[in-house]
Amino acid sequence: MAYRYSYEELWKPKNFLLVFRMYQINLGGNETREYEGSKKRWPNHFVEHI
């Protein structure tokens, strides 16, 4: 499992802006493949240096 990126999302019903971290397991052997769904849905994404 590897960290890929973080993204901000408005959490309802309390209207809090939260940061979610995207981790990914690549079972197919292609370690450079990355899930793009969150990047398309929530455009404010970034890489944290953790």
Please give the model's pTM, rounded to 2 decimal places. Answer: 0.65
User: pLDDT tens digit string along 2-43?
Assistant: 888 888 888 888 889 999 988 888 887 777 777 777 777 777
CA distances (Å), 50 to each of 4, 21, 22, 29, 31, in order?
11, 11, 13, 24, 19
Residue 42 resides in a domain: no
Q: Is the pLDDT confidence value at 50 over 70?
A: no
Residue 37 resides in a domain: no
Range of the domain at 18: 1-27
Residue 17 resides in a domain: yes
Domain count, the chain: 1
Residue 40, φ and ψ in degrees, nearest 5? -75, -40
Integer Cα distance of 9 and 11 in angstroms:
6
